[in-house]
Amino acid sequence: MSLQEEIARRRTFAIISHPDAGKTTLTEKFLLYGGAIQTAGAVKSNKIRRGATSDFMEIERQRGISVTTSVMTFPYKDRLLNLLDTPGHKDFAEDTYRTLTAVDSVVLVVDCVKGVEAQTERLMEVCRMRHTPVMIFINKMDLEGRDAFDLLDELEQKLAIHVRPLSWPIGIGATFKGVYDLYRGGLRLFEAGKTKVEHSQVAVSDLGDPVLANTIGADAAAKLREDVELVQGVYDPFDVAAYHSGLLAPVFFGSAFNNFGVKELLETFAELAPQPGPRPTDHGEVRPDEPAFSGFVFKIHANLDPNHRDRIAFLRVCSGRFQRNTFYHHVRLSRPLRFANPTTFLAANKTLVEEAWPGDVVGLFDTGNFKIGDTLTEGANFFFRGMPTFSPEIFRELVNNDPMKSKQLEKGIRQLTDEGVAQLFTQVVGSKKVVGTVGELQFDVIRYRLEHEYNAACSFAPLNLHKACWLTSEDKEALDRFIRAKTTQIVYDKDGAPVYMAPSAYMLDLERRENPAITFHTTSEFKLSTVAAT
């Protein structure tokens, strides 16, 4: 197959949702259809359960599961789907954001009872920033959920995206009878409890077909006709280009648990979702069909065995063909690297890959050469953009509890933050180390892993900080002046970029007003081009 044909076959995506909306259940049903797993229950939930076991044990359990399900590759009809897993817990939101940089589209699962929840909004923000195409699955239609029109309104308002239903529910909860396929026509009838077998499909020529009333009853048929008329009146016709630009989200209704509406979703997804496209770099766009290989690392997974310090770096191929045992150029280190054992992940089986194509993800064994965001090429010097670091939400000072193990602590914290577990900032005065995360759980992870993998003991002292703001300015003197005046609040990130630790929203606002020559960034996206140049 040619490079173009390989690209045209591939669909690389993630399923995202607020916890409990049904991401794991839907993933499993997709894998069953794709033949990647044979039995229900094969996909373990990567949720962190609080309770019986202590948090870090749960994290270890979750880490063990998540490496095997990191990338699930399965064929569906003439397509090859790469489904990238995202962690379920909100404290690992940053991992999810990074994974979203490696996909070409997403399927968003929304619970019809709960509607749009907090994490759905945040995930959508990241998708909007990157214009990622989104397909929405409204799940749990077998439960007494909200009215379909209300749900669609809420999606539009809270997620700031246009929607277009491609299927329409008939009833909900106890009265849920099935869906009418607005995209292909036809009626699919719901039978509760049918988790594996196909639900019956009834051919109806159009909504006036008497078969409709005979099948679902006259009242339900009349209501469906009314609803569909309203849908056609309110929503513009489905436009694939608008979907591909991330402006319009097609919506499906169903029940993942009952395997209802899943096949329609998967079929439409495989047909409509975008193939791997061009990717922005600091030197312009790279097209997938460019013959020279390029890719970037979006995730690093440490070995679970503390005696083996090696890690797996997940590389998304962006252009050309990746080949085993071939030297590639590590742009940041300016060094050639070769990979003898690159792996792919097919559900639970790791397999050696000889070659990979744009849209694919390969696992590279790493002994410490990679950081999140690193680019590999065939020799060209550019960096893929779009791997933002967000300001952490929680800040703690790292305290060394064993002065004899300072070196281990230093090395451990550097490696863990390279993996993206947390962000590390250093204060020049007193070389205080500040660790920033998006959730409390990461501090448990760091403490546990430092102890078990690096033999170092640490604790964390609370710091009352609001946000980390990367600083830039055209006016170098103004920036230097600000840094000098605020020594105790200035820290440096791992690349040496100055960061202002705002103690409160009020102070940040004040400093912004008083220092108009300085830009205070709460994401580090702006840095990529400058880092590449140095």
State the residues that interact with ligand G4P by CB under 6 A.
17, 19-25, 45, 47, 88, 139-140, 142-143, 255-258
Is residue 503 within 8 A of residue 511, CB to CB? The reply is no
Cβ closest to ligand G4P, residue 49 vs residue 414: 49
H or E element, residue 472 = strand 467-473
Q: Distance between CA 364 and CA 201 in Å, rounded?
A: 45
In the numeric block, the tokens 């308002």 are attached to: 157
Cβ closest to ligand G4P, residue 112 vs residue 249: 112
Task: At 318, give phi and psi (nearest 5°).
Answer: -110, -30
Which residues does residue 299 pair with via DSSP β-bridges, in sequence order? 314
For the bound state, the minimum distance from the C-beta of residue 182 to ligand G4P, rounded and expressed in Å, comes to: 20
Q: In this structure, are strands 498-502 and 490-492 parallel, antiparallel, or unpaired?
A: antiparallel
Cβ closest to ligand G4P, residue 18 vs residue 405: 18
For the bound state, the minimum distance from the C-beta of residue 203 to ligand G4P, rounded and expressed in Å, comes to: 25
Among 183, 191, 204, residue whose Cα is nearest residue 255: 191
* 400 φ/ψ sector (left φ>0, alpha ψ -120 to 50, else beta): beta
Among 301, 251, 396, 416, residue whose Cα is nearest residue 46: 301
Cβ closest to ligand G4P, residue 47 vs residue 225: 47
Cβ closest to ligand G4P, residue 258 vs residue 275: 258
Cβ closest to ligand G4P, residue 143 vs residue 247: 143
Grouping H, G, I as helix, E, B as strand and the rest as coil, residue 455 is coil
Alpha helix segments (H runs only) across 396-456: 406-418, 441-454
**DSSP tag of 421:** S
Grouping H, G, I as helix, E, B as strand and the rest as coil, residue 227 is helix
Cβ closest to ligand G4P, residue 41 vs residue 430: 41
For the bound state, the minimum distance from the C-beta of residue 15 to ligand G4P, rounded and expressed in Å, comes to: 8
H or E element, residue 63 = helix 55-68
For the bound state, the minimum distance from the C-beta of residue 57 to ligand G4P, rounded and expressed in Å, comes to: 20
H or E element, residue 11 = strand 10-17
Which residues does residue 255 pair with via DSSP β-bridges, in sequence order? 260
Q: 38: which 2 tokens?
A: 């044979």
For the bound state, the minimum distance from the C-beta of residue 47 to ligand G4P, rounded and expressed in Å, comes to: 6
Cβ closest to ligand G4P, residue 45 vs residue 303: 45
Q: What is the dihedral angle through the alpha carbons of 169, 171, 172, 178, rounded to the nearest 10 degrees?
A: -50
For the bound state, the minimum distance from the C-beta of residue 142 to ligand G4P, rounded and expressed in Å, comes to: 5
For the bound state, the minimum distance from the C-beta of residue 500 to ligand G4P, rounded and expressed in Å, comes to: 37
For the bound state, the minimum distance from the C-beta of residue 439 to ligand G4P, rounded and expressed in Å, comes to: 16
For the bound state, the minimum distance from the C-beta of residue 63 to ligand G4P, rounded and expressed in Å, comes to: 17
**DSSP tag of 447:** H
Cβ closest to ligand G4P, residue 24 vs residue 66: 24
